[in-house]
Structure 1
Amino acid sequence: MQNDNQKCGLSETKTGLFVDELFIESYVWYEKNWMHDDYEHMHQRYQLTYVTEGYQYFHIEQEIYLVPQNHVIWIPSNIKHRTTSEAKTVNLMTVLFKSVSDQDFYKDIHIFPAPPVLKEMLLYAYKWNKLLSEDEEQISFLKAILQSLPHFCNENEFLKIPVPADFRLIPVCNYINSNYQSNFDINNLAEIAQMSVRSLQRIFKNETGITLQKYMQLIRILKSIELINNEQYTLSEIAFKVGYKSLSAFTSSYFSMMKSKPKLKN
């Protein structure tokens, strides 16, 4: 049985601090209609989260990571993060690992689409959902998932939204996030940042690693993923809602980032 103060199998001793009191090596947690606390927290265990339905944003340090449906995120231990989502339904499976190998992969955050074999393995792992004891099969099976992750990882860097540290750029990002449907005027953005156009372009690229144009494209595509998830619009309607003048232009932009064409669930 789970105690009232347990979340993801870990005991929350105070807000945002999860203490590992489990004796098992790996713990499986699957939850429908996920409602995670909207505050920063961290786990002592390593975290693998698979989004089976909906999407989830992970806010980690100066980055915001989007994990769409059928994608996984790997978070090393003791990394502060919080989650948000406006999806109608968010179903997640999380596997928490007590220890990992010294391989560099496990030291960094990774987001990538779950290949069919990994999906099937994670769905099979549901049989151990919330169990506080483990048997030989569970130990070997979850260890196989853990050891296979570096080979499954086909990372998409564009699922990461950079957040600049320079306070002058925050209003610029906020403006683009609120007005992504329209093409922005670079002079207007420079005025918002209270700097020259050349300085804005240079500092934004240095702070985020991408240009203002690429940032706009990134926001549009991530917003389209949200709309696709809501299942209320056609792809043509979604294309116009996020600022593209044609479905073909939207499809091309989407493919350049996601490496797949946009498609509705049904």
Structure 2
Amino acid sequence: MQNDNMKCGLIEKTESQFVDSIEKEAYVWCEKNWKHDDYEHQHNRAQLTFVEEGYQYFHIDRKIYLVPQHHVIWIPSEKAHKITSEAQTVNLMVFLFKSVFEDEFYQNVQVFAVPPVLKEMLLYASKWNQSLDENEEQDLFFKAILKSLPNFCKESSSLEIPVPTDTRLIPVCNDINVNFKYNLDIDSLAEKAQMSVRSLQRIFKNETGITLQKYLQLTRILKSIELIDTRQYTLSEVAYKVGYQSLSAFTSSYFAIMQVKPKINKN
């Protein structure tokens, strides 16, 4: 059964709340050209999203998580989230679980690159796309995926951009997001925050857990992922567009964040 208010098998009762009438313990929903809602929502099921193509931003608890191609994000049940993306095409697999294991892993948002064995498991599971019928193999297979997640997860905390709660820092973040191509003008940023340079550096680090320089680096790398996704530029052009003077400087910065070297995907 499909209707306009059904998303991933869940019926959207209000703009942010979903009704789960499905009996199955776990199921998968694959979609090409994923369309995004620009509002925060939540549901009772825990969610594992695999980005097969494109990239997504998940806005959760005052953090913005980047989930690039061939990464997954784990979102605990009842955790409010909003999704955005500028990618040309977003192909997703969304696994929804009614219950999870006791391990602390499942209580927190997780983002990590998918190792080859997990990727094969997820792709195999796509044969049950949108199937809500009882199936013993599917139930056991999905439970195996769920149980293995903590072992597959290598901390990718670098893929999250913190959003400060101190409103004085919002203009600082906005300025970096617009002028990421240029080096930090720390005096100008301090003026925007209406505080001294030393206070800005200290408060920003306390609020976000990272330095202004690290925030700039993260912003540049996230922007580079967006540009790479368009397949319109060489890596050297991308490096220049996001503020690096050489391809090697960009590559080492990209690797420090992503743990892989940048490359243009040829489809």
Q: For residue 178 of structure 1, report the CA deviation from its aligned partner.
A: 0.3
SS in structure 2 opposite 1:87?
Answer: coil
Q: For residue 185 of structure 1, report the CA deviation from its aligned partner.
A: 0.9
**Equivalence map 1:218-257=2 (5 Å):** 218-257=218-257
- Looking at structure 1, the residues matched to 35 and 163 of structure 2 have their Cα atoms a distance apart, in angstroms, of 24
Q: For residue 259 of structure 1, report the CA deviation from its aligned partner.
A: 1.2
2:142 counterpart letter in structure 1: L
User: What residue number does 2:43 align with?
Assistant: 43
SS in structure 2 opposite 1:52?
Answer: strand
SS in structure 2 opposite 1:78?
Answer: coil
Asked if 1:131 corresponds to 2:108, the answer is: no
- Looking at structure 1, the residues matched to 164 and 232 of structure 2 have their Cα atoms a distance apart, in angstroms, of 33
User: What residue number does 1:118 align with?
Assistant: 118
- Looking at structure 1, the residues matched to 237 and 3 of structure 2 have their Cα atoms a distance apart, in angstroms, of 46
Cα pair 2:184 2:213 within 8 Å, conserved: no
Cα pair 2:72 2:114 within 8 Å, conserved: yes
User: What residue number does 2:95 align with?
Assistant: 95
2:68 counterpart letter in structure 1: P
- Looking at structure 1, the residues matched to 152 and 230 of structure 2 have their Cα atoms a distance apart, in angstroms, of 28
Q: Deviations over 1:169-192 (max 9, x none)?
A: 000000000000011210000001
Q: For residue 37 of structure 1, report the CA deviation from its aligned partner.
A: 1.1
Question: How much is the aligned-residue C-alpha RMSD, in angstroms?
Answer: 0.7
* Equivalenced residues, count: 266
1:161 counterpart letter in structure 2: I
**Equivalence map 1:172-211=2 (5 Å):** 172-211=172-211
Cα pair 2:48 2:74 within 8 Å, conserved: yes
2:205 counterpart letter in structure 1: K
Q: For residue 229 of structure 1, report the CA deviation from its aligned partner.
A: 0.9
2:26 counterpart letter in structure 1: S
2:244 counterpart letter in structure 1: Y
Q: Deviations over 1:73-123 (max 9, x none)?
A: 000000000000000000000000000111100000000001111111111
**Equivalence map 1:46-61=2 (5 Å):** 46-61=46-61
User: What residue number does 2:74 align with?
Assistant: 74
Query: Please, which runs of 5 or more residues in structure 1 have no aligned partner?
Result: none
User: What residue number does 1:158 align with?
Assistant: 158
- Looking at structure 1, the residues matched to 64 and 84 of structure 2 have their Cα atoms a distance apart, in angstroms, of 10
1:235 counterpart letter in structure 2: L
- Looking at structure 2, the residues matched to 139 and 212 of structure 1 have their Cα atoms a distance apart, in angstroms, of 46
Q: For residue 205 of structure 1, report the CA deviation from its aligned partner.
A: 0.1
SS in structure 1 opposite 2:49?
Answer: strand
The range that moved more, 125-134 or 24-33, is: 125-134
Asked if 1:85 corresponds to 2:62, the answer is: no
User: What residue number does 2:143 align with?
Assistant: 143
The range that moved more, 166-175 or 122-131, is: 122-131
1:148 counterpart letter in structure 2: S
1:124 counterpart letter in structure 2: Y
Between the two proteins, what is the percent identity of the paired residues? 69
Q: For residue 3 of structure 1, report the CA deviation from its aligned partner.
A: 3.2
1:240 counterpart letter in structure 2: Y
Q: Deviations over 1:213-235 (max 9, x none)?
A: 00000100111111111100000
Q: Deviations over 1:185-210 (max 9, x none)?
A: 10000001010000000000000000
- Looking at structure 2, the residues matched to 15 and 200 of structure 1 have their Cα atoms a distance apart, in angstroms, of 38
Q: For residue 36 of structure 1, report the CA deviation from its aligned partner.
A: 2.0
- Looking at structure 1, the residues matched to 149 and 262 of structure 2 have their Cα atoms a distance apart, in angstroms, of 25
**TM-score under structure 2 length normalisation:** 0.98
- Looking at structure 2, the residues matched to 80 and 71 of structure 1 have their Cα atoms a distance apart, in angstroms, of 20
Moved over 2 A (4+): 1-4
